[in-house]
Amino acid sequence: MSEKVAIVFSHIGSFITGFVLAYARCWQLALAMSSILPCIGITGAIMTKFISKYMECVHYSYLLFPNLT
């Protein structure tokens, strides 16, 4: 668990550092690229919703038919 937390913090730090450097170098392009972030967030939320619903169906199927592999 602790390795995963360290990796997540490392990736978040790299992401933030990349945006800081991008805004320092060419702020117009960085601003245009950061306008895509809400679209990525919304897509991730929708995917999470569908995946959790699918996993719930799979779990229910395993409860009904426990001998299937």
pLDDT of residue 1: 67
For tokens 């299937």, what's the residue?
Answer: 68
CA angle 13, 14, 15 (to 5 degrees): 90
* CA 67/CA 69 separation, integer angstroms: 6
For tokens 């009904």, what's the residue?
Answer: 64
pLDDT of residue 2: 80
Q: How many helices (H) and strands (E) does the chain have?
A: 3, 0
pLDDT of residue 11: 95
pTM here?
A: 0.59
pLDDT of residue 64: 85
pLDDT along the chain (69 residues), means of 10: 89 93 90 90 96 92 79
Tokens describing residue 38: 């809400």
